[in-house]
Structure 1
Amino acid sequence: MQCILKIQHPKLSYTFIWMVFICFFNIFSAFGQEDVKKDLQRKIKTYQATSNFKQNPIYINLLYDLGLQYAEYNLDSLLIVSNESIKLSKTINYSKGEIQGYLIEGLYYSNIGKQDRAISCFSKALSKAEAISQIDLLLESKIKLAVEYKYKDNYAKALKQYLDAIEIAKRYNKDQCLSRCYVNISVIYRVQKEHIQTILYLTKALEVYKKDGDDVEVAKILNNLAACHIKTGDLKSATNAIDSAIPVFEKAKLDSWLSYAYELKGTVYIKKEKFNQALKWLNKSEEIHTNIDKRRYKIPLYLHLANTYLGLKRSDIAEGYALKALEISKALNILDGRDEILKILYKIKKANNSYEESLTYLEELKDISDTINKKNNIKELRILKSNLESEQEKEQYILESEQKQVIQRGYIYISVLIILAFLIIIIILKKNNKTQNVLNKKLIENTLALKKNEAHLNGANNTKNKLFSIIAHDLKGPINSFKSLFDLFNKSQLTTAEFMEFMPQIGQNINSIAFTLNNLLTWGQTQMNGLVTKPNYTTIKTLVDESIKLLSKQAEAKSITTINNIDIKVVTWSDKDQIDIVIRNLISNAVKFTRQQGTITIDASEKSDFWEIVVKDNGVGMNQEDQINIFKEEETVTSYGTSNEKGTGLGLRVCKEMVENNGGTIWVESLLNQGSSFYFTILKTKTY
């Protein structure tokens, strides 16, 4: 039974595949390593010009080299190359080529976040490499397999593969592989926040690469050391390491490592709370990432960008980056760093008084923290870490006499006894903690439920009071006036002619009451039950025209000119009914506070991701204090227009909630006795 799912592709001629290869070479030549790619292009073309090139092992080896070039920039081509390599190798029974094919196929699945498939591919490669004693590919398979286990947070299995690889690398003097194992083991220790062990293994790897004069690998180690120094707070050492690495990566045109170096540089400035400088470096990293087909590495970058914008008091942008990081983390099923993402989103929502959303993120944070703890393999990790310490002791005494080797075995036995003692203690503590954790969990759940109920009751009570106040103050009076008028008419104390004289005023009052009731019901719904937003593509010009027509009588009564400058092309992604309420309220307010023969203008300005709509009048305007308090929810104030028109004070609060429900913002600019301009933004297209 095969453990790899095959992807069906149409049959392609070798000429067509070669044209695809040439195309991708041209597309990505600007991204570095141009000489390597051109050399591969030339060699592949040379072999394809010969007969029976499909049976030539050298040609299959070149496909493997080509696949490694696609690992960063074009994953679809990587899968095509791997399938071709495996198929040709099986045809001529070329085991080495088949191993190489499984390795690059595993890289493809690794980079799209399908770790189980990647593990299956690397396990196949390892099994076949062991069968033919192909040491280099065997070591490569073990290292790649260990990396996938690390991605799945199975550090115990990852360490076992690295330990096996270290033994083999020492036996066959494979220094480069030994260094890679040291680097990858340091990553596991860094995840466990054991920075001394991290620096120890990175230093061991650095010594090997310096001895070989490999500047690029030295720069990579410096990058990793910088990351560790940042964790320990040694920002000076981190800066020195990064500054030494960046010129090497720029010269070698190693995009992924260069973007990582820029990201680390930005992280240093975040630690120093110099957020503008941090943003400069993080933007450079993000720019490079647009050319790199590795979504996994964008998670920490977006997390740092979110923290930076949070430091710059731009919580809206910070939330956008945090959501991007969370989306990739969930899509690739990556737990590392997700707790930090959730903490940022919780902090933003809490600061914005979005308590339900903040509680959702808090609960998700707790769940993910529990999952991470379960997947840490604490017991196996401690056993294998003790084995690593024994390996360090073995290295110290390997050149000693036979007598010291006996002493070393004694140390190993003691270590085993200590491990057993630790296991017994862990089992006892785990049993005791299990009951305590259940009780703590119930206590936390009950506390959160009580707080949520308390907030809901307080909010409902406040809403009830406000509703009664508005009904008593702004609706009861006009309705009682209607009742008195009709009573007089019914009792014949008012003639029909006299009654008809009141009809214009009655009509205006009815329009006012209808408008007030609409705002009141909309606001009450948002406060009591929440408001469901159903966005779709909406033409703003149509909504403005309808509102102008609806309010035409009020405008004509004051000889006000209303101008709609919005073009039919202004289309937004929004809830039509909610934005209609916003536009109608803003135009109504403009009519209310504009003097006789005034002018109201509605315009739209196009921005990168949204439209900015403005309703501008040349009316009475407002002072600075009113501009600050006009959207606040603490109290409701009734204002009177230039013709003594009356309102509830709810309209602008409703507008604010409607605009924010649709992902926009609203604000006012005004000068006393010169007029007011109310602005709000709406998204152009759907966002994810």
Structure 2
Amino acid sequence: MFHHPFAHIFRAMLTLLICFGVCSVAYSISFDSDKAITIKTQDQETERERNQEYVLELNNKTAGLIEEGNLGDAKSIINDALSVSSVIDDDEGIAFAYSNLGNYFLSKGMADSVIAALNEPYKQLQHTSRAVNIGNLIATAHREKSSFSDALQIYQEVLEKARAEENQSMQAAIKQNIAGVYESLGDYPAAIDHYLESLSLAEQLGDSQTRAVVLENLGTLNLSEENYELAETYIKQALEINLDIGNPRYITGNYINLGIFYKSTGRFQEALESYQKALDLSNQLGNIVTKIQINYNIGVLHNEMGDPETALVYFQESLEMSRQNNITIGSFYNLSGMGDSYQNLENFSVAIQYFEDALEIAESLSQVEFTKSILNKLWLVHESDGNAVAALDYLKRYTSITDSIAATEREEALARQETLLNLRTERQNRELAEQALASQRNTLIRSLFLLMVVAIALVGLFIFYQKKNRMNRQLRERTVELQEVNSEKDKLLSILAHDLRNPLSGLQGVVYLIQEGALNNKDMDKVLKEVDHRLQHGITILSNYLQWAQNQKDGIEANIEPVNVKEIVDECLVGFRHSSQKKGVTIVVDIQENLAMLADKNMMQVILRNLISNSIKYVEEDGVVTVKAVKENNRVRLSVSDNGVGIPEQKKRDIFKSFSYTRIGTHGETGTGLGLSICKDFAEKQGGSISFVSESGEGTTFTVELMKADISEKSEVFAE
């Protein structure tokens, strides 16, 4: 019921809490009064009956606590019931107490403890009315451990015992559990058959409650298979029955599953309403485990709805209840959910702390799927936080555990297939055993032949699966490579369009003046020199990019070399002399003459042209643009500042995204929205970074930081 990639373990735990808690009450039928006892006085018999009543009271109280999800006091009461019932030699009381103990461990997700605690009592208490229930709990524990063969064997054993006792209610419950095994094995036809058999028994008994439980299970089966129409029908039928009965605990479960259905189909508001109804009922019942579950589900829902702040409120409440009641798995899910919320809020340091706490729990529980999930989240959050070293470490751990899990899953898949095959073979053998002895030899030969064919088919399918996976992996790798190449080509074309537009569009105006005869000889000479200058500059830009594109046709890579900062800035400023003079903008250069940095010269020219062009674009007339470089330890910080209009607060977050931010300059200048995205990409390709500081109405400063090259330096300040 926890709607989460690894929630099946917690979901199974909560399902057992509902189903088996009920069984522990429903099947408290009678006590064995016929067993041999020593002769006692009437007073002794009366005292023994009082003790039996006291044990029954303790056991019923424990069953109620487990049913309500209040596990804190349950264990001590179980121990009291076992002690007293053992002293008075009350086997029925002992059996009831062990049944409660099994339910307690299953509610806490401790399947191994169920098997260890109940195996021996199950053998010794076969004569009691609780033997079927205890065996049912042991089988369920095996099912939770994915020991499906053992689970089915014990389920069949207790089913036969229930038939012998003509206990149809227990038969219906066991058939549901057998259906759950087949569902886990992926044999959905067999699962549905057993669910329908259980439903038929419930209808014969007029047991509306069991009918509702079966319909709920059919709904969750179809929900997991994404058969949403059927899932909605079954869950709503179960809810309608429970509303008629008036059982708030089962209605709570119906609303939880209905919420999961609505969430799965994107109907978030309806999901929230269903969860809230379940939470209100759970508060009335005081069921702690269900409250933990619902608060977690609501937190996940708010995260998906884009409201991580609200999600944190529900996760925190669920976490506190989990810790107070020592429900470790609840703590894990909520810590992970809180990490997701803080990551959505881009508070990466806090998100990392919660993920690390969740990882500690996952490792303590030896749950590899949980560990894998958290390692993946830690890798991604460190990557988002810019901590490449930590991200790489978690990526390595994630890759290692993923490979291990993949190998285990292959083994488990083969084991499940083998289990299913064995189950089918056993059914066939039982049918064949009823036939005449004369047909046994031929039947055996056919069975062996069928087994061999299936084994060969399985091997063939496995080989085909491996080959298909390998081909798909190669295809994905090639697809990624082609996408990267296309992306780099698109970027190159965008750069050409962006950088050549201004110089070439300027020439258009000059040509127009010449055609109109608006220039005298003196002006004509001056203009032709400017035209020549602009053409030479445009040709230089185009030649540089074409040569660069030819050299980088297999993907744009930075050619890192020592670059004189002053020289590259001066080269870039040549192209802005006319536009800055026309607007009355003063460009100030404050750079040491021989200061050098490790960079790709072409990439740095692209970055500088974009930053200087933007500064000129967004300053008013007579504004000032300052290009400055300083050395800090082994780095060079190259900044372009202006006293222009600044960047609006709401645009700052997406400033470096392609096409995300562009606006008209102070004199109507336009842009593509690509420049700053390209600057960020090129800065990072050179092993550096780019950042900015801006106040609306006061100006903007963009700073590129790269490694310093080791050459001699001397200071010079140049103002244009």
TM-score, with structure 2 as normaliser: 0.50
2:207 is matched with 214
After TM superposition, list the pairs within 5 Å mapping 1:416-565 onto structure 2.
420-425=448-453, 480-481=592-593, 513=630
AA paired with 2:408?
T
Q: Does the C-alpha gap of structure 1 residues 83 and 385 become closer, same or farther in structure 2, counting only changes over 3 Å?
A: farther
Matched, 1:80 2:76: yes
> Which digits, 9 at most, give the CA deviation of each residue in 1:160-207, with x for residues without a partner?
111112211222211011101111111122223333222221121112
Q: Is the 8 A contact 2:199 2:214 kept in 1?
A: yes
Q: Does the C-alpha gap of structure 1 residues 625 and 377 become closer, same or farther in structure 2, counting only changes over 3 Å?
A: closer
Q: Does the C-alpha gap of structure 1 residues 168 and 52 become closer, same or farther in structure 2, counting only changes over 3 Å?
A: closer
After TM superposition, list the pairs within 5 Å mapping 1:190-589 onto structure 2.
190-231=183-224, 233-249=226-242, 257-282=250-275, 285=278, 292-294=287-289, 298=293, 310=304, 312=305, 320=337, 364-365=401-402, 367-375=404-412, 376-387=415-426, 406-407=434-435, 420-425=448-453, 480-481=592-593, 513=630
Q: Is the 8 A contact 2:95 2:131 kept in 1?
A: no
SS state at 2:103 partner: helix
1:64 is matched with 59
Q: Is the 8 A contact 2:299 2:337 kept in 1?
A: no
> Which digits, 9 at most, give the CA deviation of each residue in 1:62-90, with x for residues without a partner?
22211111214222312111211222222
In 2, distance between residues paired with 1:408 and 1:303? 58
Q: Is the 8 A contact 2:216 2:254 kept in 1?
A: yes
Match of 1:106 among 102, 107, 129: 102
Q: Does the C-alpha gap of structure 1 residues 92 and 414 become closer, same or farther in structure 2, counting only changes over 3 Å?
A: farther
* Structure with the greater alpha carbon radius of gyration: 2
Stretch deviating more after TM superposition (172-181 or 465-474)? 465-474
SS state at 2:109 partner: coil
AA paired with 2:66?
A
In 1, distance between residues paired with 2:403 and 2:199? 39
Q: Is the 8 A contact 2:592 2:629 kept in 1?
A: no
In 1, distance between residues paired with 2:445 and 2:225? 33
Q: Is the 8 A contact 1:53 1:59 kept in 2?
A: no
Give the superposition deviation at 1:407: 3.6
Matched, 1:90 2:86: yes
Stretch deviating more after TM superposition (111-120 or 366-375)? 366-375
2:655 is matched with 630
In 1, distance between residues paired with 2:56 and 2:186? 40
2:153 is matched with 160
Give the superposition deviation at 1:331: 6.4
Give the superposition deviation at 1:91: 2.1
In 2, distance between residues paired with 1:414 and 1:667? 84
Match of 1:621 among 641, 646, 663: 646
Q: Is the 8 A contact 1:198 1:228 kept in 2?
A: no
Q: Is the 8 A contact 1:267 1:278 kept in 2?
A: yes
Q: Is the 8 A contact 1:122 1:141 kept in 2?
A: yes
List gaps (5 residues or longer) in structure 2.
1-20, 26-44, 313-335, 341-353, 489-554, 572-588, 596-625, 663-675, 685-690, 701-720
Number of matched pairs? 475
Q: Does the C-alpha gap of structure 1 residues 171 and 625 become closer, same or farther in structure 2, counting only changes over 3 Å?
A: closer
Give the superposition deviation at 1:238: 2.6
Give the superposition deviation at 1:382: 2.4
AA paired with 1:156?
S
> Which digits, 9 at most, give the CA deviation of each residue in 1:276-296, with x for residues without a partner?
433443565577778645499
In 2, distance between residues paired with 1:352 and 1:56? 64
SS state at 1:673 partner: coil
AA paired with 1:186?
A
SS state at 1:141 partner: helix
Give the superposition deviation at 1:214: 2.3
Q: Does the C-alpha gap of structure 1 residues 339 and 331 become closer, same or farther in structure 2, counting only changes over 3 Å?
A: closer
In 2, distance between residues paired with 1:667 and 1:180? 66
Match of 1:141 among 134, 156, 159: 134
AA paired with 1:374?
E
2:501 is matched with none
AA paired with 2:234?
A
In 2, distance between residues paired with 1:475 and 1:69? 83
Match of 2:697 among 650, 666, 673: 673
Q: Does the C-alpha gap of structure 1 residues 383 and 448 become closer, same or farther in structure 2, counting only changes over 3 Å?
A: same
Q: Is the 8 A contact 1:183 1:205 kept in 2?
A: yes
Identity of aligned residues (%): 16
> Which digits, 9 at most, give the CA deviation of each residue in 1:625-646, with x for residues without a partner?
96465244999x9xxxxxxxxx
Q: Does the C-alpha gap of structure 1 residues 480 and 229 become closer, same or farther in structure 2, counting only changes over 3 Å?
A: closer
Q: Does the C-alpha gap of structure 1 residues 293 and 372 become closer, same or farther in structure 2, counting only changes over 3 Å?
A: farther
AA paired with 2:419?
E
In 2, distance between residues paired with 1:478 and 1:54? 100
AA paired with 2:697?
N
In 2, distance between residues paired with 1:344 and 1:296? 28
In 2, distance between residues paired with 1:432 and 1:304? 45
Q: Is the 8 A contact 2:111 2:141 kept in 1?
A: yes
2:580 is matched with none
Match of 1:187 among 180, 187, 196: 180
AA paired with 2:120?
K
In 2, distance between residues paired with 1:165 and 1:371? 31
> Which digits, 9 at most, give the CA deviation of each residue in 1:231-273, with x for residues without a partner?
4554333323222322554676766644432233234334544
SS state at 1:139 partner: helix
Q: Does the C-alpha gap of structure 1 residues 340 and 161 become closer, same or farther in structure 2, counting only changes over 3 Å?
A: farther
2:708 is matched with none
Q: Is the 8 A contact 1:346 1:362 kept in 2?
A: no
AA paired with 1:113?
G
SS state at 1:371 partner: helix
Give the superposition deviation at 1:423: 4.4
Give the superposition deviation at 1:146: 0.9
In 2, distance between residues paired with 1:388 and 1:80? 44
> Which digits, 9 at most, give the CA deviation of each residue in 1:397-438, with x for residues without a partner?
xxxxxxxx9548899988766654454456656778889999
